[in-house]
A and B are shown apart, each in its own frame.
Chain A
Amino acid sequence: MKTFLEERKNQIFQKDGNKFDMVCETKSVAGSVSQRACVFCGSRVVLYPIADALHIVHGPIGCAAYTWDIRGSLSSGVSLHRLSFSTDLKETDVIYGGEKKLYEALIYLIKKHSPKAAFVYATCIIGLIGDDVSAVCKKVTGETGIDVIPVHSEGFKGTKKDGYRAACDAINTLIGTSDTKGISKHSINILGEFNLAGEAWIIKDYYERMGVEVVSTMTGDGRVDDIRRAHGASLNVVQCSGSMTSLAKLMEERFGIPYIRVSYFGIEDMSEALYDVAEHFSDKPSIMKEATKIVREEVSSLYLKLKKYRQALEGKKAAIYVGGAFKAFSLIKALKYLGMRTVLAGSQTGNKQDYETLEELCDEGTIIVDDSNPTELSRCILEKDADLFIGGVKERPLAYKLGIGFCDHNHERKIALAGYVGMLNFAREVYSSVMSPVWKFTPRKQNNLRSDV
């Protein structure tokens, strides 16, 4: 079996001291089994956690069915986002148009669920059959008083990143539509934090302990009314930079709100995320004082708890393949803290600058990939003799099939990996896979069975 497609040769590199020029941000090659999804997927993951909004997928059934309750984004109350609504278009709708169906669906669902807003995701064929989704949304808004927002997320119109942008545009229409009275000068919005396994709550708690007001989290445990007044915050703190930097930029243009990029994974980056915010509010020294206190307390208690894991994992090798490159940076550092080496690092949607940073962070010999596929990934992890693979649900069976430990660091995870407590969970997750005794039976390690197969 041929391993690498010729067209992809500029998307795979090994760090070896030579010039490094990653080709990225391109469409996936036709016929490759990309681990990416589509524009719709990008929009859906960003908007999904807004829990008091109605999310309706306009198109045939697949797109809605495959994204029903797909993420581990928790809500502290209403959980409308965990339901799956679709106009479920049929052949006659494709011929005669789906506008009427969309209109009726919206009217029915708004009456039934009283959402704070509604997002209408246009999928592949909507553009082709000529439905005027924006017009339907406008009409329903007029009749119900509920903001109905079109999300232009036709799957083929770009990559997942374009979907992120469409989602940010949709959120942008809500921002600035409500009063900002009473918001503190020392306030932030948390962007690109989706509250998987309650992670946004962990982060929010740190900031609040520092004396910083969190106006909105976008979109984890998201609420429409918080988003409406998000422009009252003094600073945007952006995680998962791939998905929500464009919104931060829009808010900077519209409201002059500056933004910083952070990551909440690993001790180093988590602490930096607190310090950077404190530094921004240097006019109030107590914030930095509290930040320092939190970091000191959390790190010292963590240090002892991590000892057991570090001892066990020292010298083990890890491969990382995740959606956004920013997460990969943090993971490399976090793994280093556990005594582990990264032998493969890659992302679905990194940009040139991301890959340069990745290269700087990695040791000599590390393989760096953009928009990879199962064949490449397996070849690389075997070649590098990795003990651990960090990825999502599509990468898990790949690692297991080859006899390699696995840690889920994607949308479906049920264990919080952000914050200091997240670092401890991460260590435990890695430890409980890498150190399991079952690997000794795998063919990669041995084959003692007398068999004719």
Chain B
Amino acid sequence: MSKREDQYVVTQNACNLCTPLGASLAFKGVSGGITLLHGSQGCSTYIRRYMISHFKEPIDIASSNFSEEAAVFGGSSNLKAALKNVISQYSPSFIGVATTCLSETIGDDVPRLLREFERENPEITTKLAHVSTPAYRGTHADGFHAAVRAIVETFAEGGDKEDAVSIFSAMISPEDIRYLRRATESFGIKPIIIPDYSDTLDGSMWTEYHGIPEGGSTVEEISSVGRSLASVELGLISSEAKSAGGYLASRFGIERKRMRIPVGVEASDEFFNTLAMISGKPINKYYARERGRLIDAYTDGHKYIFEKRCAVYGEEDFVVSMAAFLCEIGIIPAVCVSGGRSGRLERVLREIIPTFDEMGIAVKDGGDYTDLEELSVLQEVDFFLGASKAYKSSRKLNKPLIRVGFPIHDRFGAARITSLGYSGTNALFDRIVNMVIETRQESSSVGYSYI
């Protein structure tokens, strides 16, 4: 069972966002960088609003602000005027230019326009990168990965190897990015995390306005990914031809280690073992103890959660990593839904979950929240795991929702939610166990004070 009976006719409460949003998020990870969307004013304003409601931080995204004339005669002058105005107002060291469905449909040749702009304005030192992100092709996750690849393709330079590892993460929280950094540094090697929005989207307060907040990987650091020891790519969905790690492998012969997002013991082990192999150093005791505490927690909590049924949804890589983690702790990922349409979701899930068929997992890619709700009823799930947008279904079906991922619009502290590595997994595991305990406590007339 992997499809609703009625075939696709209309998207009802979409479980994905448009490609420029993903690109805008990725560009937030470049130091001194700002995104310019080549399209209507609404694209940038809506995306800003959507991201601000999650991160609770100011997020500036510029727009080339198409007019009717531009739509007819081409957006060249709008784009160039926008670049100039962004440069004069923000003094950015980097501008990530992402297209929209509008500029793509009229066929603006943005790479050519950017080259022209650089030629016409030789005094300008701001670096430019372009990514093609029409909303009718792919989802926000595709836009995210395409922007990461665009950054790397634009700036990576080869040369003598450096003691660094390139890490291409998925759409993870700022707190999880900080974890990846600490974990990698514990091996004595330098992590170049792309994108690193851990400070730009979760920073401290200001005395004056910073259109471009401090933080992110610098263009120099990004250029050095071409000389790193290896690349670690978190996510199994995007193809080598489209990923930044794939580019480094083919262009500079840099070894590409690909794994799912490290949630759970197995996936975290793979991440730490890979870093140990790349650095030639053993895993730091600190992390070994973290691992020990996580397994201890697993045993303490296992019984509460065994064979509970979960609906997990979101970006395909998110779904894959969470489903594998749930299996690891004895929960059945009974429903797996993504708005993504890579065509690989079910295959990847089958590869990492040997008991896929026995568990009767329902998978739906290219799905929406209506699919999620219908499948969750059919599959009799006990709880939801993912973004806050399943709240309506959770409320309707009276099944709890564990909020993790993007977006979280109805809770506080989304930027600091952790699920990666041993300690992040432990935090998530605690939340799941407590959710089950709370449900039991609340639904009992006894009023247990020990459970």
Contact = CB atoms under 8 A, between A and B. Distances in A.
A56 B13 CA distance: 11
Interface in B75-93: 78-79, 81-86, 88-91
B274 interface: no
A418 to B, nearest CB: 23
Given A87-B10, A88-B10, A31 B16 contact: no
Nearest to B9: A108
Interface string B200-233: 0000111111010000000000000000000000
A312 interface: no
Contacts of B91: 1-2
B101 interface: yes
A132 interface: no
Given A31-B86, A125-B101, A393-B52, A401 B71 contact: no
A64 to B, nearest CB: 6
A40 B64 contact: no
Given A62-B17, A86-B11, A442-B205, A398 B58 contact: yes
Given A5-B89, A34-B45, A63-B42, A397 B10 contact: no
A156 B45 contact: no
Interface in B3-47: 6, 9-14, 16-18, 20-21, 36, 39-47
Contacts of A90: 136-137
Interface string B136-147: 110100000000
Interface residues of A, number: 75
Dominant secondary structure at the B interface: mixed
Nearest to B100: A124
B44 A33 contact: yes
B205 A402 contact: yes
B57 interface: yes
Contacts of A65: 14, 16-18
B135 interface: yes
A35 B45 contact: yes
A86 B81 CA distance: 33
Listed residue (B21, B70, B211) with the most chain A CB atoms within 10 angstroms of its CB: B211
A38 interface: yes
A28 interface: yes
Interface string A417-451: 00000000000000000000000001110000000
B66 A375 contact: no
Contacts of A63: 42, 46
Listed residue (B18, B39, B89) with the most chain A CB atoms within 10 angstroms of its CB: B89
A72 interface: no
Given A2-B88, A65-B16, A374-B211, A34 B41 contact: yes
A30 B62 CA distance: 8
Contact of B211 (A27, A33, A157): A33
B209 A87 contact: no
Contact of B101 (A83, A124, A396): A124
Interface of B: 6, 9-14, 16-18, 20-21, 36, 39-50, 52-53, 56-68, 70-71, 78-79, 81-86, 88-91, 100-102, 105-106, 134-137, 139, 204-209, 211, 339, 389, 392
9 contacts: A29-B85, A30-B85, A31-B84, A41-B42, A65-B17, A155-B42, A156-B68, A394-B52, A401-B206
